[in-house]
Chain A
Amino acid sequence: MTIEFETPKPIAQQQFVLKTVAQEMMRSQSREFDENEHEIPWSYIEFMHSAMKSVGGGSLAPKEEKAKEGGEQKEKRPPIGYQSLAAQIEMLAWGDVGFYLITPGGGLGAAAVQAAGSPEQKAKFLARFNDEKPTFAAMCMTEAGAGSDTSAIRARAILDEKTNEWVINGEKIFVTAGDKSFNVYEKLGKGFIVVWASIDPTAGRGGMRAFVVEAETPGVQVTKLEHKLGIRASDTAVISLVDARVPFENILGKPTVEKTTTGFKGAMATFDATRPLVAASGIGVARAALEFLKEKLTENGVEIRYGLPRNKLTSVEKDVIDMEIQLRSAWLLVLKAVWMADNKKSNALESSMSKVRAGDIVTKITQKAVEIMGPLGYSREFLLEKWFRDAKITDIYEGTGQINRLVVARQILGYSGSELR
């Protein structure tokens, strides 16, 4: 092992290509889909789907490296799947984070199947993302009465032993890509949503399970699409489930309840993988804002004099230098967290660290950039004000800044959830 910061070649090449995609397919339409919430940027979705298919899969998720049969053992290169994914996400979000969130593929729904599903379940549910049409999946955890506190979830799944089906009742809110995953569109393949519900409310977290609910399952309905501060190209759905029936084998994890929370913890491990990726998406937005700001400052003859002592810099120079420090350091935290994931090191601490830092700095950077740009920053003629609105979500979903601070604090203090709540 060593300490090294050289961008791996495959990542550098991929970024080069993605930058064009970000400019041509995303930036160019950013404003339009921000102003027309709930419209769907089909050209982007279809382009991404065929692009991803042509490189071997219908989603961004890291491909499992398959050993070639018969062939000689090649020298093993260190895995960079998550590093590469984080870089992709950062670049796509630099293009438009709302679009990135509706990149076809399994998203968080598939991630849950990946984390908690059996090999048969993975084969059955995940194959579809390689089909002809772009396909989506979503994750339904949050409820009106249960956000950060996921143990307060009320959705209920009861086994109907006569038909061997689970009967699910409940209402889920804030489901990213819930509409595209559950409703069937002409241009889309049939997706699914992963719904968290309790099979035994007396067992608390130990009773919670995730269920794969196929698109258009009777009794399930998208009842509302939210209107949001930002990321408006991304649909955020309310989904109600009334006596929704799903096959027995669609439960992820054990159908019986034990007096432990391991099942839940296993699924929560998904977050260790996804938090740095969410951080990466926020960082892409902040980089867009900072680059724009620097470009405009240059155009207006404002030079940033790197190397000067602090007390000799102008206020704008100081701000820009701080923003660069924040951005780079947050990105390095992401890189370390995904590098750990690639190398199968437990990264719960680093994941949450990267999420906290990103949540903080992307909001600060975009807010500061608008301030420095003055009236131009506030104008909808530029995308800066949109990035300011888009960035804020980074500190909210996949565990708010506060929840991730709790995770970090518990880890460094060696406290349990009950010792520090």
Chain B
Amino acid sequence: MYSFEPNEEQQMLIDAVGKYAANDLRPAAHDAEESRDLPKKLVDKGWELGVLQASTPEAYGGFGERSAVTSALAFEEMACGDLAGAYAVMTPSLFATPILLAGSEEQKKAYLPKVVEGAWAPYTAALIEYSFDFDANALKTSAKLEGGNYVLNGEKAFVPFAKDAEAMIVYANLDGKTQGFIVPKNSAGLSVADEREKLMGLNALPMYRVKFEDVKIPAENLLGGAAGHDFELILASMRVASASAAVGLAKASLDYAMNYAKERDVFGVKVAQKQAIAFMLAEMAIEIESMRLMTWEAAWKLDAQKEDAFTSAYLAFTGAADMAMMVADRGVQILGGHGYIREHPVEMYMRNGRGFAMLTGLAIV
């Protein structure tokens, strides 16, 4: 069957996350961005919504089954509040979800309870590399098997909360294929830059460069155990999460621009009554809805293990990233000069909206 309505449980989650996004994340977003500081209390509150916990089975300390659809629904809501905040709240899932999806039984038992049972803690992952031709499937960071250990070399960029990370998944090139490795805190040869990354957007999210110089980790830390794992599944799940975030961000921009346009007087009418503006709003709404459906479909295909799920995820991600940029750009345009002023959030949405195309590695929910 085709069906386009979240089930009851999903709706409850959407409502709860939506409330947090609107009442907590969004009001804090401006100051967090400007001060480059996300209040810890805010992140904790988001963590307590239990999005990750609800998609981790009981055997590993959670209370539910993972569904890419449910995750996408929740993450869209959260990102609609504030993208940096949503990334921060869900950073531990950068570590936990790949283990859940691709880890061995031992790895799940060893790590998942630690992440999901307690308070929010900085578990993270390192995928992105600071390079013009960055490609998640052709990484420069390398892994080599040497005497029963993997040895990692290379440099990662944009790693959220790397400074205090309890552990991180590091993606590296193993014989031409991308594989994830569980890297514990204080591993010799691992160094986190002192300075945070300085980016166009997402300034509230603390991100760092991380260097790996002959970092030795035990062979059993290869995600999935000795045989490794299918990175495509992880990448596709990252893409779906990013796509849902892109939809959420675009919706935030549309909502703000629409409310503004209904209040703003020009030439004796509200500016929303001018077709040039009304049509932009209509197109924004249509693009958002169409990419939301692409994202849902890709998520559903992942859950249903459809043959073309990975391609769908790629298409949804690519389309949603473009859409978010387009919508966020128009959000600024609709406010005119006021859109350019940082008192209004639309310019931040525009800066954040540009990120999706290159920042796949920041989300997997």
Q: List 14 A-B contacts (CB under 8 A).
A: A3-B3, A3-B5, A3-B69, A80-B2, A307-B311, A329-B290, A329-B294, A332-B290, A335-B2, A357-B290, A405-B283, A408-B285, A410-B278, A412-B285
Query: With A329-B293, A333-B289 as given contacts, are A307 and B314 in contact (CB-CB < 8 Å)?
Result: yes
- A window 366-421: CB within 8 A of B: 402, 405-406, 408-410, 412-413, 415, 419-420
B258 close to A325 (CB less than 8 A): no
Which residues on the B side are within 8 Å of A412 (C-beta)?
A: 258, 281-282, 285
Bound Cα distance from A126 to B332, whole angstroms: 52
CB distance from A171 to the nearest CB of B (A): 30
A78 within 8 A of B: yes
Query: With A413-B281, A420-B278 as given contacts, are A1 and B5 in contact (CB-CB < 8 Å)?
Result: yes
Bound Cα distance from A408 to B315, whole angstroms: 25
Chain A positions near chain B (C-beta within 8 angstroms): 1-8, 78, 80, 83, 306-312, 321-322, 324-326, 328-330, 332-333, 335-336, 339-340, 350, 353, 356-357, 402, 405-406, 408-410, 412-413, 415, 419-420
The 8 Å CB contact of A339, one of B2, B10, B272, B322, is B2
B279 close to A312 (CB less than 8 A): no
Q: Which residue of B lies closest to A329 (CB)?
A: B290
Bound Cα distance from A144 to B73, whole angstroms: 48
Q: Which residue of B lies closest to A6 (CB)?
A: B1
Which residues on the B side are within 8 Å of A4 (C-beta)?
A: 1-3, 300
The 8 Å CB contact of A415, one of B136, B273, B293, is B273
A356 close to B2 (CB less than 8 A): no
User: Per-residue CB proximity of B283-297 to A under 8 Å, as 1/0?
Assistant: 101100111011011
Bound Cα distance from A324 to B7, whole angstroms: 29
Which residues on the B side are within 8 Å of A8 (C-beta)?
A: 1-2
Bound Cα distance from A415 to B261, whole angstroms: 12
Consensus secondary structure, chain A interface = helix
User: Per-residue CB proximity of B81-104 to A under 8 Å, as 1/0?
Assistant: 000000000000000000000000
With contacts defined as CB atoms under 8 Å apart, how many contacts are there between chain A and chain B in the complex?
A: 146
B3 close to A339 (CB less than 8 A): yes
- B window 12-26: CB within 8 A of A: none
Chain B's interface size range is 35 or more
A321 close to B315 (CB less than 8 A): yes
Q: Which residue of A lies closest to B269 (CB)?
A: A419
Query: With A329-B290, A353-B286, A415-B272 as given contacts, are A1 and B2 in contact (CB-CB < 8 Å)?
Result: no
The 8 Å CB contact of B282, one of A307, A309, A310, A356, is A356
Bound Cα distance from A382 to B296, whole angstroms: 36
Q: Which residue of B lies closest to A78 (CB)?
A: B1
Bound Cα distance from A275 to B311, whole angstroms: 29
Q: 15 extra interchain contacts, Cβ-Cβ under 8 A, other than A307-B314, A409-B279, A420-B278?
A: A1-B7, A2-B6, A4-B1, A6-B1, A8-B1, A306-B311, A311-B132, A321-B318, A328-B315, A333-B286, A339-B3, A356-B282, A402-B279, A405-B278, A408-B285
B278 close to A5 (CB less than 8 A): no
Query: With A3-B296, A408-B282 as given contacts, are A312 and B314 in contact (CB-CB < 8 Å)?
Result: no
A357 close to B3 (CB less than 8 A): no
B130 within 8 A of A: no
Consensus secondary structure, chain B interface = helix
A310 close to B2 (CB less than 8 A): no
Which residues on the B side are within 8 Å of A1 (C-beta)?
A: 3, 5-7
Bound Cα distance from A330 to B315, whole angstroms: 13
Which residues on the A side are within 8 Å of B282 (C-beta)?
A: 356, 405-406, 408-409, 412
Identify which of A8, A83, A413, A419 gathers the most chain B CB atoms within 10 Å of its CB: A413
B319 close to A413 (CB less than 8 A): no
Which residues on the B side are within 8 Å of A356 (C-beta)?
A: 282-283, 286
Bound Cα distance from A420 to B301, whole angstroms: 40
A7 close to B5 (CB less than 8 A): no
B133 within 8 A of A: yes
Bound Cα distance from A405 to B291, whole angstroms: 18
Which residues on the A side are within 8 Å of B5 (C-beta)?
A: 1-3
Which residues on the A side are within 8 Å of B275 (C-beta)?
A: 402, 406, 409, 420
Which residues on the B side are within 8 Å of A415 (C-beta)?
A: 272-273, 278
Bound Cα distance from A329 to B3, whole angstroms: 15
A308 close to B357 (CB less than 8 A): no
B4 close to A325 (CB less than 8 A): no
Bound Cα distance from A312 to B314, whole angstroms: 14
B286 close to A413 (CB less than 8 A): no
CB distance from A316 to the nearest CB of B (A): 15
Identify which of B10, B272, B286 gathers the most chain A CB atoms within 10 Å of its CB: B286
A336 close to B137 (CB less than 8 A): no
Which residues on the B side are within 8 Å of A329 (C-beta)?
A: 290-291, 293-294, 319
Query: With A307-B310, A409-B279 as given contacts, are A3 and B4 in contact (CB-CB < 8 Å)?
Result: yes
B6 close to A330 (CB less than 8 A): no
